[in-house]
Amino acid sequence: MPENASTTNLNHHHQVFDIQGSIDDVPSHSHDTSKCYDDDGRLKRTGSVWTASSHIITAVIGSGVLSLAWAIAQLGWIAGPAVMLLFSMVTFCTSSMLAQCYRGGDPNSGKRNYTYMDAVRSILGGVNVTLCGIFQYLSLLGIVIGYTIAASISMMAIKRSNCFHQSGGQNPCHMSSNQYMFIFGATEMFLSQIPDFDQIWWLSTLAAVMSFTYSIIGLALGIAKVAETGTFKGSLTGSNTGPISQTRKIWRTSQALGDIAFAYSYAVVLIEIQDTIKSPPSEAKTMKKATMISIAVTTTFYMLCGCMGYAAFGDDAPGNLLTGFGFYNPYWLIDIANAAIVIHLVGAYQVFSQPIFSFVEKAATQRWPNIEREFKIPIPGLPPYKLNLFRLVWRTVFVILTTVISMLLPFFNDIVGVIGALGFWPLTVYFPLEMYISQKKIPKWSNRWICLQIFSVACLIVSVIAAIGSVAGVFLDLKKYKPFHSNY
């Protein structure tokens, strides 16, 4: 899943995950030949290969990078980089197919689809729209739970690194993450009541800066550690079964696939990014180039982060590079990196929650029209705040629910693996591939159709293996863990 706040600001409406929306909502103007308007009556789009590439890069590089060293440690020096390259190639192929679905019919003049869901609705229709919505909402719910866990662990890591520093490494500094989850939940409860919080213009810039800050710090610390020891740790086949059983090794290897899938997926925002590109040439051509550039950049960056983390710690690579306490010094730099993670995730939580909020609120308004009543609360020096009781109660309950689930399952790696596995096949492979077949009118049982179906089934198998490994990881961790008593 996309991991940054940046791309959500591309369109000022939340059709992305909206099963109810329609591509016919856009007003039609007779501005086809105007210099100021595009063929759909909207203001001229000005995006280029470079703006689209930067949107994709900032959407992809995020908290997924933190678990890559652990994922490579499970797979080893041969399979780890190979699997990462494989995922990058699959993502490039399916993204190129999805780019063809921005316009229905003719790639230069066909009707535009403004979001992923619009494309599924107009090209596939029927039950596919509902299934796509279910997968997207489940994926979003998983992401906000994962973000709650990651943010609380980073807050706790700041406290722990200072504790280590003060005690000179003598104190193990064990502590619970629950109080930090509670603080994060309370913050999100407040922010979720701010109308259009995710549309605040500076939020996407801040998110992009923060995610690059902690990713680069993680990479730099890995390089410094390797330079300090002068050795590349790790083995060709990954973590040995010494202290862990053969079964656990299999589960962990499967889970690593889910972690890598989580780091790559951005399919659900691809069409929104494409909707910012000017034409001619056709948006699909520009998007294909942008996809190639951005996937090459992110794969290089991921390879560096994952491989340097593994080279620094070998089989002991922590599940979260900046909080697993492979690094103790310089403690202030680790504090900066973890503070950047927290700031990024505070905003990102809102971005990924908004589609769920708007979907539930729209459904509730259609059923009970009176629910929209608002009370104006005067605020000195500011416009009055419009309080909606349903929004207040429902959003508060949602944040409490995600916080409680995070406290019950505070396993960053396992949850990231589950989310990655859940969203990879349906959202990154199945729907783009089926839409492409429909768009290109590829005949059933033709050689091309058979090849595409084999590709889809292979990706489904990978997704299922990753999901089973990640869920098994959750259950194995639950055996050793007492709810609400997590200790790090």
What pLDDT, on the 0 to 100 scale, is given for residue 6?
46
What pLDDT, on the 0 to 100 scale, is given for residue 19?
41
CA distances to 55, 86, 100, 245, 415 from 319, in Å: 27, 22, 37, 18, 11
| Rounded Cα gap, residues 415 and 473, in angstroms | 9
| HEC readout, the chain | CCCCCHHHHHCCCCCCCCCCCCHHHCCCCCCCCCCCECCCCCECCCECHHHHHHHHHHHHCCHHHHHHHHHHHHHHHHHHHHHHHHHHHHHHHHHHHHHCCCECCCCCCCCECCCHHHHHHHHCCCHHHHHHHHHHHHHHHHHHHHHHHHHHHHHHHHHHHHHHHHHCCCCCCCCCCHHHHHHHHHHHHHHCCCCCHHHCHHHHHHHHHHHHHHHHHHHHHHHHHHHHHCCCCCCCCCCCCCCCCHHHHHHHHHHHHHHHHHHHCCHHHHHHHHCCECCCCCHHHHHHHHHHHHHHHHHHHHHHHHHHHHHHHHHHCCCCCCCCCCCCCCHHHHHHHHHHHHHHHHHHHHHHHHHHHHHHHHHHHHHCHHHHCEEEEEECCEEEEEEEHHHHHHHHHHHHHHHHHHHHCCCHHHHHHHHHHHHHHHHHHHHHHHHHHHHCCCCCCCHHHHHHHHHHHHHHHHHHHHHHHHHHHHHHHHHHCCCCCCCC
What pLDDT, on the 0 to 100 scale, is given for residue 34?
61
Cβ neighbours of residue 158 under 8 Å, at least 6 residues apart? 334, 335, 338, 339
CB 124 within 8 A of CB 407: no
| Structure tokens given for 436 | 């492409």
Closest to 142 measured CA to CA, from 421, 397, 347, 335: 421
| Structure tokens given for 71 | 């994922």
**Phi/psi of residue 383, each to 5°?**
-65, 155
Low-confidence ranges of the chain (pLDDT < 70): 1-34, 39-41, 107, 168-172, 196-201, 238-244, 324-329, 482-488
Q: Give the count of alpha carbons within 13 A of 286, CB side only.
A: 25
Contacts 24+ apart (CB under 8 A), 457-465: 459/90, 459/424, 459/425, 459/428, 459/429, 460/425, 460/429, 460/430, 462/257, 462/261, 462/424, 462/425, 463/261, 463/421, 463/424, 463/425, 463/429, 464/421, 464/425, 465/254, 465/257
Amino acid code (one letter) for 354: Q
pTM: 0.81
